[in-house]
């Protein structure tokens, strides 16, 4: 493994601003850690792109962070974790933590009814990464897939693994709603009611928020799904994994003036404006970088 030390920062990578929900948790749980954040704002969204493109973009962004000298990488983007985590782990010899496995693990621990819902971008849902991660932890059971609804109306998938059933649904409009600051208004309620109509009919007791932006819509999602459904925030679960990895590799830092540095691939203004709402902190040190070509 590349030589890393306690004093080096943690790197967080996302397609744009959404990974700040993960950074917020890292700052809360690990306040003494320096953090460098890289958001690919010129090429966001990743959620509608192919596996090949997301992997290429992700490797370029992570290459930049690794060159900056990070001791551990968090792939905060669910879509990048779904498509590119293996390639990132193969290419870079530092500890790498994605958001899917921690969310999957927590979902299995939480469900009593053995009925789990997963919502995310089109890419994340299409990749079946959460299903694969849950199945890997559940003993790689034979998979039976059933489709509900139509492409135009309430389309979701039911995946049976032995006695456990997973329901997956893409909710693409949640991303712009969260960025627009509309996470709590009546447009959000209407959108969420449409997206969650099918899942609400199913007897799920656990719902994974499988996208960086969805924690901002927790209130609306919870109102629609009801109090009996536990929402799993992958960001919180990921930070627990980060803590464990820092201890395992003896990399914990306790800086009294922790560094927060942001790099984006497009003009920083929009990132700063939307990002301060996501992070609930001022974004002070931000630079634009050239990636790809």
- Contacts with ligand DGL, residue ranges (CB under 6 A): 14-16, 18, 44-47, 77-79, 121, 124, 175, 211-213
20 within 8 A of 179, measured Cβ to Cβ: no
Among 20, 26, 77, 170, the one annotated catalytic: 77
Does 211 qualify as catalytic in the annotation?
yes
Residue 274 to residue 140: CA distance in whole angstroms: 40
CB of 249 to ligand DGL, least distance (A): 26
Residue 152 to residue 34: CA distance in whole angstroms: 45
**DSSP code of 217?**
G
Residue 77 or 131: which CB sits closer to ligand DGL? Answer: 77
Cα-based distances in Å from 158 to 46, 117, 225: 24, 9, 17
Residue 124 CB neighbour total at 10 angstroms: 27
Residue 57 or 251: which CB sits closer to ligand DGL? Answer: 57
Among 70, 119, 175, 211, the one annotated catalytic: 211
Q: Output the CA angle 124-108-20, nearest 5 degrees.
A: 45
Which residue number places its CB atom closest to ligand DGL?
47
Residue 124 or 135: which CB sits closer to ligand DGL? Answer: 124
Q: Output the CA angle 253-258-260, nearest 5 degrees.
A: 120
Residue 57 or 115: which CB sits closer to ligand DGL? Answer: 57
CB of 113 to ligand DGL, least distance (A): 26
Residue 243 CB neighbour total at 10 angstroms: 14
**DSSP code of 257?**
S
Does 236 qualify as catalytic in the annotation?
no
Residue 40 or 251: which CB sits closer to ligand DGL? Answer: 40
Cα-based distances in Å from 129 to 37, 79, 167: 24, 9, 13
Strands (E), the chain: 10-14, 35-39, 72-75, 96-98, 115-120, 143-148, 156-161, 164-170, 206-210, 230-233, 260-264, 286-288
CB of 129 to ligand DGL, least distance (A): 10
Residue 288 to residue 112: CA distance in whole angstroms: 46
CB of 177 to ligand DGL, least distance (A): 12
CB of 201 to ligand DGL, least distance (A): 25
Question: Tokens 């919502």 appear where?
Answer: 119
CB of 44 to ligand DGL, least distance (A): 5
Cα-based distances in Å from 256 to 28, 37, 246: 14, 19, 18
Residue 9 or 103: which CB sits closer to ligand DGL? Answer: 103
Active site residues: 77, 211
């Amino acid at each position: 493994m590349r030589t890393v030390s306690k004093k080096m920062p943690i790197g967080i990578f996302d397609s744009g601003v959404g990974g700040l929900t993960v950074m917020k948790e890292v700052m809360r749980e690990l306040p003494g850690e320096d953090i460098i954040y890289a958001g690919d704002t010129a090429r966001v969204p990743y959620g509608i792109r192919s596996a090949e493109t997301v992997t290429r973009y992700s490797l370029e962004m992570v290459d930049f962070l690794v060159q900056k000298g990070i001791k551990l990488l968090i792939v905060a983007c669910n879509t990048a974790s779904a498509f590119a985590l293996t390639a990132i782990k193969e290419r870079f010899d530092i500890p790498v933590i994605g958001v899917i496995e921690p969310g999957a693990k927590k979902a299995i621990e939480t469900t009593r009814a053995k009925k789990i819902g997963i919502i995310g971008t089109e890419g994340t849902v299409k990749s079946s990464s959460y299903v694969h991660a849950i199945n890997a932890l559940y003993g790689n059971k034979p998979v039976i897939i059933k489709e509900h609804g139509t492409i135009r109306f309430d389309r979701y998938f039911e995946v049976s693994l032995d006695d456990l059933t997973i329901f997956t649904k893409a909710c693409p409009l949640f991303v712009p709603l969260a960025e627009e600051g509309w996470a709590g208004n009546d447009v959000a309620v209407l959108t969420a009611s449409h997206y969650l109509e099918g899942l609400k009919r199913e007897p799920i007791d656990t719902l994974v928020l499988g996208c960086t932006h969805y924690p901002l819509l927790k209130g609306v999602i919870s109102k629609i799904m009801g109090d009996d459904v536990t929402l799993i925030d992958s960001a919180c679960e990921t930070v627990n994994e980060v803590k464990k990895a820092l201890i395992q590799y003896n990399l914990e830092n306790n800086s009294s003036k922790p560094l927060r540095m942001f790099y984006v691939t497009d003009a920083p203004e929009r990132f700063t404006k939307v990002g301060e709402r996501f992070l609930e902190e001022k974004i002070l040190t931000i630079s634009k970088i050239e990636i790809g070509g």
